[in-house]
Amino acid sequence: MKVFEQIKLLSEKGISIKGITKATGCSRNTIRNYLKQIQSGRLNNTESPVNNERHEAFEEQLPYFIRELKRTGVNRQLLWQEYLDKYPGGYSYSQFCYHLQQYQERDNATLRIEQKPGEKLYLDYAGTRPEIVDRETGEIILL
């Protein structure tokens, strides 16, 4: 759910600005500004503060960006440069990364694993997989 929708919903339920601040993580001034816009009619249920052609073009590209980020050697900087080539008036790098992160967090499930310190070792490799060469046979083994 978008932040402004959460703010509107919580406000309609009678939650105070302080309560909305705790629930959404937004500052009180941001919440007040959204509530003023909603009350004045400048912001309705279907409208978002970021709804514009630039954002719509960006949102169309999001599934492609997520797919590409899973490939080896592809990073956000490369995707941003590719995005700017298509849309010269597009987002700056920081806004590109912010909106990309917001999209990724929507469906990002996490799992907390309880364990004793030093009980297990987890290795995370970025890029190409490391190789081990068996000294006796000369065989290359991918980890």
**For helices 17-24 and 3-12, what crossing angle results, to 10°?**
140
Confidence of residue 17 (pLDDT cuts 50, 70, 90): confident
pLDDT digits 0-9 by tens, 19-40? 888 888 888 888 888 888 888 7
Between 32 and 44, whose confidence is greater?
32
Confidence of residue 41 (pLDDT cuts 50, 70, 90): confident
Strands 131-133 and 140-142, bridge-based pairing: antiparallel
For the full predicted model, state whether its pTM sits above 0.75. Answer: no
State the SS3 of 19-78.
Answer: HHHHHHCCCHHHHHHHHHHHHHCCCCCCCCCCCCHHHHHHHHHHHHHHHHHCCCCCCHHH
Domain spans of the chain? 3-40, 53-106
Confidence of residue 64 (pLDDT cuts 50, 70, 90): very high
From CA 111, how far away is CA 104, in angstroms rounded?
16
* Bridge partners of residue 133, in order along the sequence: 140
Of 108, 99, 107, give the one whose Cα is nearest residue 49. Answer: 99
46-56 average pLDDT score: 64
pLDDT digits 0-9 by tens, 94-139? 989 988 988 887 766 677 778 888 888 777 766 777 788 999 999 9
Confidence of residue 89 (pLDDT cuts 50, 70, 90): confident
Residues of the chain with pLDDT > 90, as a percent, come to: 17
